[in-house]
Structure 1
Amino acid sequence: MSAVRVALRIARRNAWRSRGRSALIMVMIGLPVLVITTVLTLIETMNVNPQEGLVAQLGAADARLMQAPEGTVLRQEPNGTSWSSGGGHPAVARRSAAEVGALLGPGTRVIPFDTGVLQLGTERVEALRTDLRDPLTKGMLPLSEGRFASAAREVVVTSAFGRRPGDLLRPSGAAPLTVVGVVEHPYRPALRQVVGPDLPLASVDEFWSPGEHGTGWLADTAEPVSWTRVTTLNGAGLHVTSRAMVTDPRSWARASAFDVQYTVGIGAMVIMVVLETVLLAGPAFAVGFRRRRRELAEIAAQGGSAGQLRTIVVADGLVLGGAATLVAAVLGIAAGTLGAHAVARWGAGAGARWGPTAGPPDVPWPPVLAVAALGLLAGIVAALVPAVQAARQDTATVLAGRAPAVADRPGWPVVGAVLVVAGLGATVVARRQPGSVWVLASAVLVLLGLVVLTPWLVRRTGRLAARLRLPLRMSVRDAVRHRSRTASAVAAVMAVTATVVAVGIGTYSEYMDRRNAYTSARPAGMLAIWAGNIGDEAWTRLRAKAARQLPGVPLAAGYQAKDTQGHRYALRYTVRWNGTRTRRTAAIGDQTLLRLLQGRDDPQAAAALASGKAVVFDAAAVRNGKLALRASSTAGPARKLEVPAVLATPAGEHQGGALLPRALVEQAGFATAERQLYAMYRPSANSTLGRDLAKVTPRVTVASEEGYGNVPDPSLWGWLGGALVLVVGGTLAATRLAAADMRPEQATMVAIGAPSRTLRAVVAGQAFYISGLGALVGLVAGTVTGLAVTRPMTTYGAGDPATIAIPWLFLVAVVVGLPVLATAAALINRTGLPVARRLQ
């Protein structure tokens, strides 16, 4: 029998004999594999590719066509999923079903397939106008209860809608609809949709988007719809989804180009995953090796070589790592598959109108197998240090029952310091590069150096033990005595803390930079209605319509500037806001508009406006009492103006802009015409103001200033949750191993009358030392990386200063809260009193 087979048998028997320690090692190795495999499988299953989603789009049809609004020109790409549109072209006439069939050639049959929304009181739900009894819709929305709609005013609903056959739906301004069946969407279980042959859809064209809202048809053609036919149909104003194009992988598969930054980022992530797994599992392997010292020494005494001893210990990592990765990969695949359908069914509240998707179970085997291989590699690497120690142990010393002396290699601290210095230098260079991946890659070098330095740090900090009380003194001295176990746990906590701190600083700085960079020329809560190049009569009708739609709301007029040829001009100026050059368009109006922009009456600003001066809300834009403007037009020559100006205080903190009096603009040679309306009014979510005004003229724009609405990234606290699991879990695992190692000392303490709370205090002291030292070192390393990464994350060009914001509450929770929590968990953990055997 070969030495490898013997080593594997010994490792298997030892793992079964020490089931608790083996389970702990498997959890530490398998947890990262489980998490990553779950995420990969979940994402792949929820990602419905064009082929998987074909039945929901086309049913049994050969093509789906959608009519583009008039004036829209389509230019589809060969994959049939991308499109672009442009205006300024002759209007394309709307097509009838017969005309669409004629364009597709002889033998074509088409049925209506219109998508839009249905207004049910204050609620707007997705709606589809088609006949699901037609063979072309087979498989599109399978029936789960009742029957398909067959008569007028009959509908079916998706199961997520929560209605049953016999229920009534009451659309706004239309007769009630009767639910006769319940259907299921193939990959959108959370979709709330109503389907019927004659639904009163609400203005589908104004929401037009291929595959979502619009007038369309399903077509059964005599020949497959080729790319040549698609381009012809685009010219007729029809967007096409062709079965022949989608089912050809060459039409939608694209090879991704090699990305250096992506590759470096993946490499850094792999190193961090392996490093963290090794550091978490390392203490358990170290304790297992110490318990087997005598067994290994007996093998050496019987002629076992140093290489054979190393093989036996490495076999532990191979057996436990292999079992852990196998179990974790299977559980991860199952969890990802089940989780995808759970998220798709219950995750519709995430904000997407259509809800999340979930296709057939799909496992990305290459990355999953790569992650499993990483887990196996981590198990083997974690066993390497004990394997080297096993080969070097003194057989006579171990068989005599004496503990071997622990000696540090004098060269390792120097190596660690060199790695840290090199990493810091690389970080200084990387922070000047575009993209944050280079900073993160440099941080890996710093962390590797700190891992090498950790045993030296443990020994140095252990000198403080003499000043501590008895339980803490015993804890620290035991930690220093077993530095291989302690250093691994401290380094694991350090790596987690450094990563979370760096991510926290970078993410929060990016959020603050976006918040500080936000600016608007209008205060929050202001509604703006703009008209394009329309005549006075059309503007009069539009203004009257707006007044009727907003009864009792005061409206302030705004004006547009035109030259003598009737060309519209925009009067703009440029100012730096939060280090970024921002171009603003000056408004033209009177004191009523000024009052809205300032949110109050300002006699000085009103007097300046009445005297013909511009009122400016950007201090940096006014120089020597002047505002420099550029009058630009798409049809006429540009001009430069310099007008008298005064500074004023706007209504909002992030508000800028300027207001010009009409007289000032007219003195510059322009004519003014009222084409804008402003009001302090917030439309409701279901407001139809834009659609109602568009009925007067399509050249109207309605905008509501909502202010800065983003919130700090919630994933920040998700990082804290991950750190909680790793720091507390790793610390408790290390302290449980330490408690097992300290049984002789505990027996002595019990023999001299130490209460159980003292034993718990010793274990808790070990937890506090491990987590506290790791958190402090991780704070320093993470802060350096976090400050460096703020530059590529918050700058957008030369001269733009980086935004640095420290999330103090988050850092306190990580650096103080996690060690305290780990210590408390160790303190309340039950500590059994060891039973000492007496010699008779």
Structure 2
Amino acid sequence: MIWKVAVRIARREALRHKGRSALVAAMLALPVAGASAADTLYHTTKLTTVEQLQRDLGHADALVSYVAPTPIEQLPDGTVPGSAQAGGMLSGALQGVQVASPVDSGVLPSGSRVVPLPNQQELRVEAPQGADSVPVVERDLGDPLLSGLYVPKAGRAPRAAGEVTLSTSLLSSLDKHIGDQLTAEFLTPGQVPDKNGQLPKHQLTIVGEDDDPAHLDADEVIAYPGTLPAVPDDAGPTQWLAQIPGGLNWAQVQKLNQGGYSAESRLVVENPPPDSAVPLMQHYHAASVGSSRLTQALLAVGAVGIVMALLEVVLLAGPAFAVGARKRRRDFGLMGAAGADHRMVRAVVLADGLVLGAVGGVVGALAGIGLGRLALPEAVDFTHREPGAFRIAPGDLAGAALIGVVTGLIAALIPAVITGRQQVLESLTGGRRGARGVPWKLATLGAVILAAGLAATGYAVFRPGIHTVPLVGGIAVSELGVVACTPLLVALTGKLGRLLPLTGRMALRDSARNRGRTAPAVAAILAAVAGSTAVATLLTTNDAQGRAQYHSTLRPGQVALMFGAAAQQQEEQQSGGSLRYNGTPTGPDLTPVDAAKAIAAISAVLPVRSAAVIPTQDYNGFVPVSIVVKRTPANDCPFFNGNGGAVVLPPGQGGESMIQSDPRCQAAFGGGQVVPGDAATLRALTGTVDPQAEKILAAGGMVVFSPFDLTGTAPAGGAPRATIALQRDCPPAGLDLPDDLRSQFAPYCAGPPPADLTLPAAVARTKDGSAVNGVRALIPQSAADKYRVKYVPSMVLFDTTRMPTKAEQERANAAAESLGTTALLDVERGYQGGNDTTMLALAAVAAFVTLGAAAISTGLAITDGQADLETLAAVGARPRMRRALAGSQATITAVLGTVLGSATGLVPAVAIVEARSHSFVQSALQGRSGHGLRGLIGGGPTVHAQSYLTIPWTFLIGTIVIVPMLAGIAAALVTRSKIEIRRRRG
């Protein structure tokens, strides 16, 4: 009965004060609308099983893939974890081995039909900017089994050789339309250029526009089968769409696995087998783990973010309920005089939160659906994925609306408790307004909470390993502790009023006296500024770390033209190094360009001083041998010389600092090949002339770039010496491998390894004294011939007189594309970090919340302090006093919030930076595993244990100084000067 009356009173009060009610309902609706919009987008973009199968399989029953020439194990969804089968998946050695289709090999049931999906190739097409290399695949889009693999936008499917469809992004970039002719060069290995180095040109007819639904931004050409030339020694297609009578069950999938094939089966995905029937789940426990540490961390951070967003709303809406309850004190006094007890008064105030929360929840849920629909195109542009059918989840929307109700009740809880404690006589006579005393009890609780949060954060940071839950939980609890201390801090700042002029003194003391509305606004600003400060600090630290750790394989201003194998491996690194199971080279033509023509073409458009050809080890997807520099034990990195390269570190932070400070360990992360070269190669790498090093190199010696690579001196005080050795990565003798796979290793692994080779050596440095990171050592060609390691030209290195401009680089790219093969041009411009756009966005978010909270707090203060303003006007205060007072109140609120928020935001930033610095061993192992061209082209990962913590002073100064000034000016401008003296009450 009490709640029925309370809700009726709250509903009438909300209708009586529509402006204030709409403001509070809007604040409560904001997080609900955001949650509803996010939920709607999630369910729309998250494909159902049927939709995902349509994209993967079209109308086929299964997608069958050849994985390896050995039995494999897979998950029911068709995934084959590479790490679990790394010992048996050495299919990169299968050069020239023909892969049989699943029908011919007999692994599919009789009566099955398969449609091959040939491997991707490359085309060079004429573009407005000169030329462009794009991927091309052959597909018969008219086959019913392929229906659903691509999204047709316009035109028709190709029906004859020479007809193609293009993706939307490619049509736009090439400025082509359906019906136009596409001039293209086939970059298929084996294509022979003419005497001018140009490949034959072919005219292809554009007949349609089709997009890959999983990669709407991809530039792709789809050609009718038979359009592209055959690839020499091609292993054939490695994927097939299969139509199988009765579908493909799990037992049949396991039969496929025994033959080295995997399958994504419609029947199995829709009816997955139990984990006990999946061998991979039993043998490899990691494959059955449903969530990774990264997923758990993201979920934890997301949960904390949601809680903090709701806390922001509670902090902003709570003062509005408090002021509303204070304006109705006389009404509550009359209720008490009529017999209402404290429970009834509390129920009426809580009912305000219930009614406005219900309105905000319903409106927010409905608005979220509309926002989700409006934001869907933007989500598609962001993810570049075709969404599923537009879907809403009624249960989730009801839960979001319930969040609005709960948020309203929580926001009204403290005002209800305070109002319920007031005496009837005090309510009827007005009594004394404002808080009395200092809130030591709440501050003491906040200090305890803050200490607990800091302790949890410190545990997560300084304990070995990664501890996501205590780290994220400690950060959240610490912020809540600071929020609990805010009322005390606001009360103490009131004692500083004597240092300010009249309006500032009045505003500061009013804020301290009415901390029930000031402290929540300050806490809301604190939470927003703390979050933006933490992110800004992390971005600034990352930028500083990237700048300090940046080690290019080129010197500033140098230009590298990579081609053949080097260009292919660089593209593989940029695309994530996806694993190819058939072992055949795919993508660009591996034939090197004519070095003389390349030098002439690039020198014509860039300010080139000199150029040299840099060779690298021949790369065909399978290189089990390489030449390495062999150090003495005293010169080797002490952290990588035990247990087959395992990292051995002393315990504690000191051990981590040692690895970055020991110069012997730099080569462990820098990577780089040992390559043959001459004086021109040395000058191109160092940018200077070193007569002594060139003399030793010409005499059959070698040049190294680190003094730790020297192994001693020759007898009788001769030149220093260095040692090289042949490193072989061969399978163990007892490993069961197919004969055709083992035969690929035979030329490299037969017999004992050749003996080490010690040569006279010189140490060379670059012009500016920095290290050479791309090449470990230069050796004479005779040394490479002794080890029977084949090197081919892979790069032309240009030394320039100045930094090339962007326009010159674009012209150089066009010149590289015209050389008759795929080539990649790289201009070294130094570290290109910076987060200006992101920092501006963070500043905008912090400013928006700060200005909003300051405006709400100021508006409530003006409304709540109307009697004081009337008194000031009665004793002769000027009209502009009201503007000055409003500006002072907004400025003080914003200053308190931004200062506390900036200090609080540094805590999680420091914690995350320090926690991250403890995870360097993982990166160190990755850097140690780099080999081959990885060091020559891209450089291995560089690891440092120090935190590089950097404070974003510009961001903090702008947040603490500029934003409060804007808040004060805005409040003064929008406040009316004239004070309306109301009719005297009582």
Q: Shared topology, TM-score over 0.5?
A: yes
Q: How does 1:309-320 map to 2 (within 5 A)?
A: 309-320=345-356
Task: Give the direction of change, closer, same or farther, for the CA distance of 1:474–1:155 in structure 2 (3 Å limit).
Answer: same
| Inter-partner Cα distance in structure 1 for 2:542 and 2:843 | 18
Task: Give the direction of change, closer, same or farther, for the CA distance of 1:611–1:777 in structure 2 (3 Å limit).
Answer: farther
The answer as to 2:680 corresponding to 1:592 is yes
Question: Could you give the per-residue CA deviations for residues 73-115 of structure 1, whole angstroms, max 9, x where no partner exists?
Answer: 9764431144645336556754688955965343333445447
| Inter-partner Cα distance in structure 2 for 1:51 and 1:650 | 62
| Inter-partner Cα distance in structure 1 for 2:884 and 2:594 | 74
Alignment-mate amino acid for residue 547 of structure 1: A
| Inter-partner Cα distance in structure 1 for 2:769 and 2:783 | 29
Question: Could you give the per-residue CA deviations for residues 490-532 of structure 1, whole angstroms, max 9, x where no partner exists?
Answer: 1111122122212222233234324433435554633567989
| Inter-partner Cα distance in structure 2 for 1:203 and 1:399 | 96
Q: Structure 2 residue aligned with 1:423, among 423, 438, 453?
A: 453
Task: Give the direction of change, closer, same or farther, for the CA distance of 1:609–1:731 in structure 2 (3 Å limit).
Answer: farther
Q: Is contact 1:337–1:362 with CA below 8 Å preserved after alignment?
A: no
Q: Is contact 1:64–1:216 with CA below 8 Å preserved after alignment?
A: yes
Task: Give the direction of change, closer, same or farther, for the CA distance of 1:651–1:715 in structure 2 (3 Å limit).
Answer: same
| Inter-partner Cα distance in structure 1 for 2:534 and 2:615 | 48
Residue in structure 1 matched with residue 323 of structure 2 by the alignment = 287
Task: Give the direction of change, closer, same or farther, for the CA distance of 1:623–1:267 in structure 2 (3 Å limit).
Answer: farther
| Inter-partner Cα distance in structure 2 for 1:266 and 1:653 | 43
Residue in structure 1 matched with residue 224 of structure 2 by the alignment = 197
Q: Which runs of 5+ in 2 are unaligned?
A: 83-88, 186-199, 276-286, 567-588, 603-610, 619-623, 638-658, 714-719, 729-748, 799-808, 922-943
Q: Structure 2 residue aligned with 1:662, among 752, 756, 779?
A: 779
Residue in structure 1 matched with residue 488 of structure 2 by the alignment = 456
| Inter-partner Cα distance in structure 2 for 1:111 and 1:604 | 64
Q: Structure 1 residue aligned with 2:902, among 772, 776, 779?
A: 779
Question: Could you give the per-residue CA deviations for residues 754-805 of structure 1, whole angstroms, max 9, x where no partner exists?
Answer: 5554422211111110110111112222223322321112343589332212
| Inter-partner Cα distance in structure 2 for 1:265 and 1:67 | 40
Residue in structure 2 matched with residue 538 of structure 1 by the alignment = none
Alignment-mate amino acid for residue 833 of structure 2: V
| Inter-partner Cα distance in structure 2 for 1:639 and 1:437 | 51
Q: Is contact 2:333–2:424 with CA below 8 Å preserved after alignment?
A: yes
The answer as to 2:290 corresponding to 1:256 is yes
Q: Is contact 2:702–2:779 with CA below 8 Å preserved after alignment?
A: no
Alignment-mate amino acid for residue 107 of structure 1: G
Shift in Å, 1:834: 3.8
Q: Is contact 1:73–1:89 with CA below 8 Å preserved after alignment?
A: no
Residue in structure 1 matched with residue 429 of structure 2 by the alignment = 400
Q: Is contact 1:571–1:629 with CA below 8 Å preserved after alignment?
A: yes
Question: Could you give the per-residue CA deviations for residues 98-150 of structure 1, whole angstroms, max 9, x where no partner exists?
Answer: 95596534333344544746543124556553344433344555666555444
Residue in structure 2 matched with residue 499 of structure 1 by the alignment = 531
Q: Is contact 2:332–2:427 with CA below 8 Å preserved after alignment?
A: no
Structure 2 counterpart SS, 1:120: strand
Q: Is contact 1:557–1:678 with CA below 8 Å preserved after alignment?
A: yes
Residue in structure 2 matched with residue 130 of structure 1 by the alignment = 139
| Inter-partner Cα distance in structure 1 for 2:977 and 2:270 | 66
Percent identical: 29
Task: Give the direction of change, closer, same or farther, for the CA distance of 1:198–1:271 in structure 2 (3 Å limit).
Answer: closer
| Inter-partner Cα distance in structure 1 for 2:267 and 2:140 | 24
| Inter-partner Cα distance in structure 2 for 1:637 and 1:80 | 44
| Inter-partner Cα distance in structure 1 for 2:777 and 2:562 | 17
Q: Is contact 1:153–1:176 with CA below 8 Å preserved after alignment?
A: yes
The answer as to 2:561 corresponding to 1:509 is no
Q: Structure 2 residue aligned with 1:78, among 33, 52, 76?
A: 76
Q: Is contact 2:711–2:723 with CA below 8 Å preserved after alignment?
A: no
243-252 or 766-775, larger mean C-alpha shift: 243-252
417-426 or 389-398, larger mean C-alpha shift: 417-426
382-391 or 618-627, larger mean C-alpha shift: 618-627
Q: Is contact 1:560–1:569 with CA below 8 Å preserved after alignment?
A: no
Residue in structure 1 matched with residue 125 of structure 2 by the alignment = 120
Shift in Å, 1:283: 1.6
Shift in Å, 1:442: 2.0
Question: Could you give the per-residue CA deviations for residues 281-332 of structure 1, whole angstroms, max 9, x where no partner exists?
Answer: 2221211111121212222222222222222212222222232233223322
Residue in structure 1 matched with residue 362 of structure 2 by the alignment = 326
Shift in Å, 1:739: 1.9
Q: Is contact 2:563–2:593 with CA below 8 Å preserved after alignment?
A: no
Q: Structure 2 residue aligned with 1:729, among 845, 852, 870?
A: 852
Q: How does 1:599-618 map to 2 (within 5 A)?
A: 599-603=687-691, 606=694, 617=705
| Inter-partner Cα distance in structure 2 for 1:97 and 1:667 | 41
| Inter-partner Cα distance in structure 2 for 1:673 and 1:387 | 83
Residue in structure 1 matched with residue 581 of structure 2 by the alignment = none
Task: Give the direction of change, closer, same or farther, for the CA distance of 1:244–1:550 in structure 2 (3 Å limit).
Answer: farther
Structure 1 counterpart SS, 2:50: coil
Structure 2 counterpart SS, 1:550: helix
Shift in Å, 1:156: 4.9
Q: Structure 1 residue aligned with 2:413, among 384, 402, 406?
A: 384
Q: How does 1:141-290 map to 2 (within 5 A)?
A: 141=150, 147-151=156-160, 153-156=162-165, 161=171, 165-172=178-185, 176-181=203-208, 194-195=221-222, 197-198=224-225, 200-201=227-228, 216-230=239-253, 233=256, 240-249=263-272, 256=290, 265=301, 268-290=304-326
Shift in Å, 1:363: 4.8
Alignment-mate amino acid for residue 722 of structure 1: V
Residue in structure 2 matched with residue 633 of structure 1 by the alignment = 727
Task: Give the direction of change, closer, same or farther, for the CA distance of 1:423–1:241 in structure 2 (3 Å limit).
Answer: closer
Q: Is contact 1:517–1:578 with CA below 8 Å preserved after alignment?
A: no
| Inter-partner Cα distance in structure 2 for 1:690 and 1:227 | 51
The answer as to 2:61 corresponding to 1:3 is no
| Inter-partner Cα distance in structure 2 for 1:470 and 1:27 | 35
Alignment-mate amino acid for residue 272 of structure 1: M
| Inter-partner Cα distance in structure 2 for 1:557 and 1:193 | 32
Residue in structure 2 matched with residue 29 of structure 1 by the alignment = 28
The answer as to 2:443 corresponding to 1:413 is yes
Residue in structure 2 matched with residue 823 of structure 1 by the alignment = 968
Give the TM-score normalised by the residue count of structure 1: 0.82
Greater RCO between the two (CA within 8 Å, min separation 6)? 2
Aligned length: 808
Shift in Å, 1:693: 8.8
Task: Give the direction of change, closer, same or farther, for the CA distance of 1:578–1:81 in structure 2 (3 Å limit).
Answer: farther
Alignment-mate amino acid for residue 459 of structure 2: V
CA RMSD of aligned residues (A): 4.6
| Inter-partner Cα distance in structure 2 for 1:834 and 1:517 | 62
Task: Give the direction of change, closer, same or farther, for the CA distance of 1:839–1:335 in structure 2 (3 Å limit).
Answer: closer
676-685 or 585-594, larger mean C-alpha shift: 676-685
| Inter-partner Cα distance in structure 2 for 1:680 and 1:789 | 41
Alignment-mate amino acid for residue 26 of structure 2: V
Structure 1 counterpart SS, 2:389: coil
Q: Is contact 1:530–1:675 with CA below 8 Å preserved after alignment?
A: no
Q: Is contact 2:70–2:260 with CA below 8 Å preserved after alignment?
A: yes
| Inter-partner Cα distance in structure 2 for 1:569 and 1:199 | 43
| Inter-partner Cα distance in structure 2 for 1:486 and 1:557 | 68
Residue in structure 1 matched with residue 560 of structure 2 by the alignment = 526
Q: How does 1:558-707 map to 2 (within 5 A)?
A: 558=615, 568-571=626-629, 577=660, 582-583=668-669, 584-585=671-672, 587-588=674-675, 589-603=677-691, 606=694, 617=705, 631=725, 633-634=727-728, 636=753, 646=763, 648-649=765-766, 655-656=772-773, 660=777, 662=779, 675=792, 677-680=794-797, 684=813
Q: Which runs of 5+ in 1 are unaligned?
A: 349-354, 533-540, 695-701
612-621 or 442-451, larger mean C-alpha shift: 612-621
| Inter-partner Cα distance in structure 1 for 2:469 and 2:771 | 31
Shift in Å, 1:821: 2.8
Alignment-mate amino acid for residue 590 of structure 1: D
Q: Is contact 2:705–2:764 with CA below 8 Å preserved after alignment?
A: yes
